[in-house]
Each structure stands twice: as C-alpha cells, then as structure tokens.
C-alpha cells in the first residue's frame, strides 16, 4: 500500500477544505484510500453513439453526435424555455433548457460537432432531450474516460453544494494522476494465478474507468473476492485465536446423569440431526478450548432437549449450567419443560426473572454461590451483578439476536474462567449470513423435525373470503381445537393498532358469541398479570380463541391450538410470519395457517405470501427474506457485526463468498501464522486492515 494513500483528502488537487469537509461528513471519505474505495453504484455505457433515427421511446440515457443549427426561446413566463435544433445525418431533434438560458446561450457554438448525452422524451411527433450533458466532439475525444461513465454514491447535500457526479469523476481522475495509477498488490501471487484474477492496479482503474464491459466484470470480481476474503480471514483467525487462547473447562467424561437420562427418561427417540449436533457439542466440551457454538433449528425441531443434555454433561463434570431467554414467558416455559425432567434425575433447578420475589431471590443467590443449585433458568435478570455462580460451566443463550455482545460477555465474567457458550436460535440464518456475521462461531444445525410432526398447511385468503374462514374456524373448534388470530403491531401508530385489534375483536365476538365461545385477548397495553391470566386461560383450554398482537410470537406452547390466522399478513416480515406459524402444529393433529390480506399488495408482499404458502423450510424462507431485505435489516440494528461492505453483496455474491471462505481456510490451514514468503502480502494487508479500522471498516 502506497504510504501516500493515508494522505488526508484535503491535499488532493481540486478538493480543498470545504469540499473535504463535505466528503467527510456525507460519504465518510477522510483519506486517498477512502476515495479509491468509493466504488460506483452503476455505469452508463458511453461506448455507443446513437443516430437520431435509431432512438426508441424508452427512458434510457443515450449519446448522440450532431450539431446545433439554431436556438430560439419558446413559451411565456414560468414555462419559458430555450430550444436548440439538433441535427445529424439521419434526422432532427430538440434540445431543451428550462433554466440558465443566458449562460447556455453564450457557451454554445453553432454548427460545430457536439456529443450530447441524456434521457430523451417523445412529444408532438419529435424526440427532445431536456438539459443534456454536452461536450464538443474534439474535447470528448481527448478525455481520460473514453468508455463507460461511473455513477458514484451521492447525497442531496453534495448535489446541492455543487459536488456533482462530474466533480467526483474529476477528483477521482486527479487521484489516478497523482498515484500514477499504481497500487500495491494485496493478494498473493498464488491466489491471483489460481483464480485467474487481474492485479490490483488494473482492477482499481477499471472499476472507476472501465475500458470495456468485460474488464469491468473482471475488476468487480477481483475486488469482491478480495473484500470477502479478508472478512473471512479475520473471522477464521478470530476463531483460531479464541480456540488457542481462551481455555475452556474440559468436560472429560460423560457420566451418570447423562447416561441415566439417555437410557431411562428420554421422552422420545432422538432424530439423526439431534444426535449429530450432540456429538459436535460433546467434542467441543471435551477439548481444552472454550466452546462458542451457534445451534440453529427451526421452531419445534427439538433444540431444548439438546440444550438439556448439554447441561447434563456440565453437571456430570461438577459444574453448574444456566439458560437465558429474552422474555419472561419464554423463560417460564423453558423452566416448566425442564423442571419435569430435572425432577426425575433429582437435579435442583430454579427460575429467576424480573418478577421473582425478593425472598426467593435471596435463596437463589445463596444456593448458586454454595453450589447447591445446579441449573438456573431466567431472563436478563441472570446478568445482574448479584448473581454469582460457584462454578458456571455452560451458559446457553436462547434467541441470541435479542441480546447484544456486551450482554454475552457479562455472562463470561461470572467466572474466573469463561464458561462454554451455546447460542440457540429458531430464526434460521441463511448460510451466507451465518458465514459472514457469525463466521467466528462454530455452527450446528438441526435440520429435521421429530417424527409424527405434520407440517402446517398454509393458505392465503383475501378479506372477501372472511365468512368462509369463519366457517372453517367453527368447524375446527367443533372438533375441540383452539385458534389464534393475530394482528400486526406497528410501533409508530399504537392508537391505530389498538383500534384494529379492538375492531377485530368486536367482529369476532359478534360471530362467535357467548356462551358457546370463549375468547381471550392479549395486547401490549395490558398489565403483565392480566396478560398472564388470559394466556393461562387459553393454555388450559378455557377459551377457544386467542386474539392478540404479536406478543405471542415467541414461545407459547399450546399443542391443542391448530389454527393460526394472521390478519393484514402483508404487514409482517417473512421471519415473523414463519415464527407465528410455528406456534401451531405442535400436537399430533393437522394444523393450518391462514394469511389474510386486502387486495392491494406490493410485489414484495406477494413474494412473501407465496413463499409462506409454498414452503415450511425455515432456511429457504430465510434466504428469500435475505434477498428481499438485505443483510443489514435482517440482523436488526442492535446486532453488532453487520457488515459494512464496499463492493460485495453477500446475497448476490454468495458464490464468491463461499470461494473466499474456502481459500481463506486453505491459506490458514497450510500457514496458520501467515509466516511463509508467499503469504507476506496477505499478512501485510491483514495488519493494515486491523490498523486502519476506519479505512475498510469491514466488520463494524
């Protein structure tokens, strides 16, 4: 890397202090290096010149060579415009200016060959081009960029302050002149040869000023590969360092609790996927390194039993275990499920949440510290400083995307040595995202459902079919089943949502009158105790219908509920729809999910609904979701580690990502410290990246 790439952008000819300030504020460009990494969003092909008689009535940008033979003003007052007659050897069109007449007039040379560029309009049997970009043909032929014109990212403020695309192109050209277009290579010659990549300087030149479509494609491929390669290198090195530096407690043997449970109390046969995942966890816990594993499995795939059996491994080796869930409802449910299993094995287990009474808390704190308590289940309350373990060996975190990294590290510090960490999620993370965002965690997937589970039948119905849907609900209730009806919750308009929910509730109450039908209602404005009371009535089967906002998204387990109706389904995201659908289909009966919408649907909404009807596979749904929303949205704003990519797109460039991960692994397998001569350039670049985090702010 040329040392001068760290030069502040103020020193580039044509920039100056004012422009430099704007570039820093608006585009985060501080140095020459940042500018060279400002890659165009798109390109306009300036390699082709049209004749006037070849123009089509479409909205594309075209360039034409011809001469202006005359200028006149037309219209009155505000609609006054300057019109130029523009001719080539095939015909005539008009160039139109609505403002700046005076200086445009002064600047134009009549009957001289010009190249004009812009969008054309068809009006009154003639083509016209408003506010064209113009250049005398002789100037046009001298310029550096002979080919495709880059269009750079911009902001309203930049355009308003006169930093147009043209200005950015000019300063970019200046940068290439000052550096003579020579840039240090950042990939090893071995990689360049094996993958037939073009060198760094050629790639940078052709990403900004592509000579041909083909060279542009090669430049993009090379730079995308490089960006993804260094991300993967960082993640894999982080994982290797983690394994070598952070020692875990080795759980040397599988003992009585595990074996007794496995042989005598296991409520059902484990699936092959569960067995495979348990083996992976077992291997981690038995090694000397701290486990850092992400366990993915769709709703109902049996993650909890795997978590419990992992806890037994900790207990068998004389350690304590904890499980942290994001909501009180979910932690209570985990506790109730595990309490029964613990009773059979004579294991002590407690629940700690925000609503645990003070006297109960004191008991929990004491029995945790003296080691009498084996397993603690709870919410964020587990993170409080008062909560101290005697020897925490395994911490399990459910639905990790709701906990920040800072919270995870708090669990670490509960011990002299960090416990093993198992993160569970029912939100399937597409492979591409898992490889980049969670690339430093080892990943296990439970990808089959327990036998006897029927998949939920999903249909999409419009509001006009509501009476038929109500009849279907009556039939299901007559069979002794229960029904959820869920309304969307959009934070901005709580009042409106509340009204939607109440209107819905009233119309349902009319159609399902007392005493034949009992209805529960749950929403965000209720007191926790009231919510809980309504939930309990539904769980006990005292009510047949639960009308709710998305409060029930996570973790309500009512095996008898067989119908999920989602109102205004177009207002939900895919992962939310999938999570809600997972609330039914928990018993042996056939379950149904009905997506209700109005008639007006955007294309994205249609895609979401079609995907839900077509498949129950959470991973396929996650891939579609990633394609629709992009990686940033999918991870949610609080998720640290969202990628701030300069050129690659982990959705569209999935294949390059996999290739980059493969090669990063290969390089590190053969040369873990990057000490071989062939890898010096990789080591140097890697160090630079770590040093100038603000440059390629790859992993935020």
Q: Is the pLDDT assigned to residue 47 strictly greater than 80?
A: no
Q: How do residues 101-143 score in pLDDT, each as one tens digit?
A: 888 898 999 999 999 999 888 888 889 999 898 989 988 887 6
Secondary structure (3-state) at 623: helix
| pTM across the whole model | 0.66
Residue 352 belongs to some domain of the structure: yes
Q: 523 and 400, same structural domain? A: no
Please indicate, yes or no, whether residues 319 and 392 belong to a single structural domain of this protein.
yes
Q: What does the mean pLDDT of the chain come to? A: 87
Distance (Å, rounded) from C-alpha 386 to C-alpha 274?
A: 35
Least confident of 129-138, 280-289, 341-350, 415-424: 415-424
Among residues 116, 144, 172, the one where a domain terminates is 144
Residue 309 to residue 311: CA distance in whole angstroms: 5
Token pair 């002794």 is at which residue? 480
What 3-state DSSP class applies to 397?
strand
> Dihedrals φ, ψ of 11, to 5°?
-85, -5
Banded model confidence at residue 631, pLDDT cuts 50, 70, 90: low
Kindly report, residue by residue over 542-564, the tens digit of the pLDDT.
999 999 886 554 556 788 999 99
**Do 494 and 354 have their domain in common?**
no
The band of 401, judged by pLDDT with boundaries at 50, 70 and 90, is low
Q: Are residues 346 and 467 in the same domain?
A: no
Of the candidate ranges 182-186, 258-262, 293-297, 509-513, the one whose mean pLDDT is the lowest = 293-297
Domain that holds residue 68: 47-144
Residue 200 lies in a domain: no
Domain assignment present for residue 544? The answer is yes
Residue 470 and residue 346 share a domain:
no
Least-confidence region, from 35-39, 180-184, 241-245, 290-294? 241-245
Query: Where does a domain end: 565, 592, 615?
Result: 615
pLDDT tens column, 448-505: 877 777 889 999 999 999 999 999 999 999 999 999 999 887 555 667 777 788 888 9
For the ranges 289-303, 624-638, 675-689, the one whose mean pLDDT is highest: 675-689
- Note whether 404 and 320 are same-domain residues: yes
DSSP label at residue 50 = B
What confidence tier does 312 reach under pLDDT thresholds 50, 70, 90?
very high
471 and 389 inside one domain: no
Is residue 357 scored above 70 in pLDDT? Answer: yes
Q: Within this chain, do residues 387 and 277 fall inside the same structural domain, yes or no?
A: yes
386 and 491 part of one domain: no
The predicted pLDDT at position 328 comes to 83
Report the DSSP pairing between strands 91-97 and 561-566: unpaired
- Asked whether residue 556 falls in the same domain as residue 466, the answer is yes
Determine, yes or no, domain membership for 658.
no
Q: Does residue 109 or residue 329 have the better pLDDT?
A: 109
User: Reduced to 3 states, what is the DSSP secondary structure of residue 64?
Assistant: strand
The residues, ordered by sequence, that sit 6+ positions from 5 with a Cβ below 8 Å of its Cβ are 31, 32, 33, 36, 179, 183
More confident residue, 313 or 437: 313
* Residue 282 belongs to a domain: yes
Mean pLDDT value of segment 402-424:
72
Q: Domain with 56 in it: what CATH number?
A: 2.40.50.140
| pLDDT band for position 327 (cuts 50, 70, 90) | confident
Helices (H), 75-152: 101-107, 137-142
Whether residue 270 is found in the same domain as residue 412: yes
User: Could you give the 3-state DSSP secondary structure of residue 75?
Assistant: coil
Overall domain count for the chain: 3
CATH number where 365 lies = 3.40.50.300
Q: How confident is the model at residue 375 (pLDDT cuts 50, 70, 90)?
A: very high
- Mean pLDDT, residues 511-521: 93
Q: What is the pLDDT, as a whole number, of residue 634?
A: 46
Within a domain: 683: no
Look at residue 395 and tell me if it is in a domain: yes
Which of 124, 144, 164 corresponds to the end of one domain?
Answer: 144
- The answer to whether residues 261 and 408 belong to one domain is yes
Q: Which long-range contacts (CB under 8 A, 24 or more apart) does 12-18 make?
A: 12/171, 12/174, 12/175, 12/178, 13/174, 13/178, 14/170, 14/171, 14/174, 15/171
Does residue 384 carry a pLDDT above 50? Answer: yes
* Average pLDDT for 259-277: 93
Per-residue confidence band for 693, with pLDDT thresholds at 50, 70 and 90 = low
pLDDT in tens, 196-208: 999 999 999 999 9
Residue 87 belongs to some domain of the structure: yes
Burial class (CB in 10 A: 0-12, 13-18, 19+), 24: middle
pLDDT at position 670 = 95
């Amino acid at each position: 890397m040329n040392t001068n790439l760290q030069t502040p952008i103020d020193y580039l000819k044509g920039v100056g202090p004012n422009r430099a300030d704007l570039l820093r504020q608006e585009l985060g460009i501080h140095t020459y290096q940042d500018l060279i990494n400002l890659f165009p969003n798109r390109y306009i092909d300036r390699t082709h010149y049209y004749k006037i008689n070849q123009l089509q009535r479409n909205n594309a940008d075209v360039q034409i060579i011809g001469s202006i033979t005359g200028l006149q003003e037309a219209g009155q007052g505000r609609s006054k415009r300057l019109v130029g007659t523009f001719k080539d050897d095939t015909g005539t069109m008009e160039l139109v200016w609505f403002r700046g007449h005076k200086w445009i007039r002064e600047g134009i040379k009549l009957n001289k060959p010009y190249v004009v560029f812009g969008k054309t309009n068809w009006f009154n049997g003639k083509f016209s081009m408003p506010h064209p970009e113009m250049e005398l043909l002789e100037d046009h032929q001298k310029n550096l960029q002979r080919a495709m014109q880059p269009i750079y990212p911009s902001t309203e403020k930049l355009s308003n302050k006169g930093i147009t695309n043209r200005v950015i192109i000019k300063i970019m050209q200046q940068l290439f002149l000052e550096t003579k277009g020579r840039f240090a290579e950042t990939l090893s010659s071995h990689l360049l040869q094996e993958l037939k990549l073009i060198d760094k300087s050629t790639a940078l030149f052709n990403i900004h000023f592509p000579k041909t479509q083909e060279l542009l494609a090669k430049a993009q491929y090379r730079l995308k590969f490089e960006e993804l390669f260094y991300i993967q290198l960082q993640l894999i090195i982080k994982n290797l360092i983690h394994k070598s530096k952070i020692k875990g407690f080795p759980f040397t043997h599988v003992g009585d609790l595990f074996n007794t449970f496995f042989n005598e109390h296991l409520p059902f046969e484990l699936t092959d996927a569960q067995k495979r995942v348990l083996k992976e966890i077992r291997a981690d816990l038995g090694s000397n390194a701290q486990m850092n594993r992400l366990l993915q499995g769709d709703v109902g795939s049996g993650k909890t039993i795997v978590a419990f059996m992992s806890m037994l491994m900790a207990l068998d080796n004389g350690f304590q275990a904890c499980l942290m869930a994001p909501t009180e409802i979910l932690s209570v449910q985990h506790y109730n499920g595990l309490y029964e299993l613990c009773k059979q094995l004579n294991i002590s287990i407690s629940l700690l949440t925000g609503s645990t009474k003070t006297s109960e808390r004191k008991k929990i704190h004491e029995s945790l510290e003296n080691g009498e308590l084996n397993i603690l289940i709870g919410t964020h309350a587990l993170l409080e400083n008062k909560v101290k373990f005697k020897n925490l060996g395994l911490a399990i975190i459910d639905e990790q995307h709701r906990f920040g990294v800072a919270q995870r590290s708090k669990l670490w510090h509960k011990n002299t040595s960090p416990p093993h960490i198992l993160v569970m999620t029912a939100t399937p993370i597409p492979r591409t995202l898992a490889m980049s965002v969670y690339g430093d965690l080892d990943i296990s997937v439970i990808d089959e459902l327990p036998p006897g589970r029927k998949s939920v039948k999903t249909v999409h119905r419009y509001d006009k079919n509501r009476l038929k849907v109500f009849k279907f609900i009556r039939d299901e209730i007559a069979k002794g089943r229960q029904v959820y009806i869920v309304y969307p919750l959009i934070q901005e308009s709580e009042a409106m949502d509340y009204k939607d929910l109440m209107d819905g509730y009233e119309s349902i109450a009319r159609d399902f009158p007392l005493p034949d039908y009992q209805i529960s209602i749950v929403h965000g404005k209720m007191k926790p105790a009231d919510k809980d009371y309504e939930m309990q009535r539904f769980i006990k089967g005292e009510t047949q219908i639960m009308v709710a906002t998305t409060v029930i998204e996570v973790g309500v387990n009512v095996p008898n509920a067989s119908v999920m109706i989602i109102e205004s389904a177009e207002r939900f995201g895919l992962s939310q729809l999938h999570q809600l659908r997972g609330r039914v289909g928990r018993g042996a009966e056939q379950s149904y999910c009905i997506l209700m919408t109005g008639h007006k649907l955007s294309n994205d909404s249609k895609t979401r609904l079609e995907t839900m009807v077509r498949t129950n596979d959470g991973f396929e749904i996650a891939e579609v979701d990633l394609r629709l929303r992009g990686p940033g949205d999918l991870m949610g704003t609080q998720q640290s580690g969202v990628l701030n990519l300069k050129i690659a797109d982990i959705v569209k460039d999935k294949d390059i990502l996999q290739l980059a991960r493969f090669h990063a692994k290969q390089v590190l397998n053969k040369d873990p410290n990057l000490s071989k001569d062939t890898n010096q350039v990789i080591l140097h670049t890697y160090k630079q990246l770590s040093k100038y985090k603000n440059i390629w702010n790859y992993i935020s």
